[in-house]
Amino acid sequence: MLSVELQRSIQEHIADTIAEKRLTADLLEIIYDQNWFNLWVPKRYGGLNFELSKGCRMLEEIAYIDGGIGWTVTLCSGANMFAGFIEPKLAQTIFSQRNVCWGGSGMASGTAEKVNGGYILNGNWKYATGAPHLTHFTLNATVLEKGKQILDSRGQPLVHSFYVLKDDVLVHDDWDTFGLECTASHSFSTMNLKVSNAQCFDLQYEKRRSEEPLFDYSFLSFAECTLGVNYIGMARRFLDLFEKQLLVKVNTQAWDSVMGKFLFKQIDASRTIIQSFSDRLYGLMRGSWGKGRPSDDIESQISEVTEQCVQHIRTSVSALFPFTGIAGAQRHNEINIVFRHLFTASQHALLNRKPS
pLDDT tens digits for range 24-45:
999 999 999 999 999 999 999 9
Q: What is the DSSP string of 109-159?
A: -EEEEEETTEEEEEEEEEEETTGGG-SEEEEEEEEEETTEEPB-TTSSBPE
Q: Name the residue ranges covered by the structural domains of the chain.
A: 4-95, 102-203, 217-351
pLDDT for the residue 253: 66
pLDDT for the residue 355: 52
pLDDT at 60 over 80: yes
Q: Are strands 136-145 and 102-104 parallel, antiparallel or unpaired?
A: parallel
Q: Percent of the chain beyond pLDDT 70?
A: 97
Residue type at 92?
Q
186: alpha, beta or left? (left if phi > 0; alpha if psi -120 to 50): beta
Q: How far apart are CA 334 and CA 314, in angstroms?
A: 18
Q: CATH for 217-351, among 3.60.150.10, 3.40.47.10, 1.10.10.10, 1.20.140.10? A: 1.20.140.10
22 and 182 in contact (C-beta within 8 Å)? yes
Q: Percent of the chain beyond pLDDT 90?
A: 92
C-beta contacts of 307-311 below 8 A and 24+ residues apart = 307/351, 307/353, 307/354, 308/277, 309/228, 309/231, 309/232, 309/274, 309/277, 309/278, 309/281, 310/228, 310/231, 310/346, 310/351, 310/352, 311/354, 311/356
pLDDT for the residue 250: 72
Q: Which residues of 110-120 are buried (b: 16+ CB within 10 A; e: fewer)?
A: bbbbbeeebbb
pLDDT at 94 over 60: yes
Fold adopted by 4-95: Butyryl-Coa Dehydrogenase, subunit A; domain 1 (1.10.540)
Position with higher pLDDT, 123 vs 351: 123
Q: How far apart are CA 166 and CA 138, in angstroms?
A: 10
The 10s digit of each residue's pLDDT in 194-239 is 999 999 999 999 999 999 999 999 999 999 999 999 999 999 999 9
Q: Report, as an integer, the average pLDDT of 330-335.
A: 97
pLDDT at 57 over 50: yes
Q: How far apart are CA 74 and CA 80, in angstroms?
A: 10
Q: CATH for 102-203, among 1.10.1050.10, 3.90.1150.10, 3.40.30.20, 2.40.110.10? A: 2.40.110.10
Nearest Cα neighbor of 191 from 103, 79, 113, 106 is 113
C-alpha dihedral (297, 300, 306, 307), degrees to nearest 10: -140
How high does pLDDT run on average in the chain?
96
pLDDT at 354 over 70: no
For residue 206, count other CB atoms closer than 10 A to its CB.
5
104: helix, strand or coil: strand
114 and 144 in contact (C-beta within 8 Å)? yes
pLDDT for the residue 261: 85
Band the pLDDT of 356: cuts 50, 70, 90.
Answer: very low
Band the pLDDT of 255: cuts 50, 70, 90.
Answer: low
Distance of CA 11 to the CA centre of its chain: 19
Q: How far apart are CA 166 and CA 135, in angstroms?
A: 5
- Helix 219-249 and helix 67-80, axial crossing angle in degrees, nearest 10: 170
pLDDT at 259 over 90: no
Burial tier of 101 (Cβ tally within 10 Å: 0-12, 13-18, 19+): buried
Position with higher pLDDT, 78 vs 247: 78
H helices of the chain, where? 4-11, 14-20, 25-34, 52-65, 67-80, 88-95, 219-249, 253-255, 261-288, 296-320, 325-329, 334-345
Band the pLDDT of 248: cuts 50, 70, 90.
Answer: confident
Q: How far apart are CA 79 and CA 76, in angstroms?
A: 5
pTM equals 0.96
The 10s digit of each residue's pLDDT in 136-183 is 999 999 999 999 999 999 999 999 999 999 999 999 999 999 999 999
The 10s digit of each residue's pLDDT in 276-299 is 999 999 999 999 999 999 999 999
pLDDT for the residue 352: 76
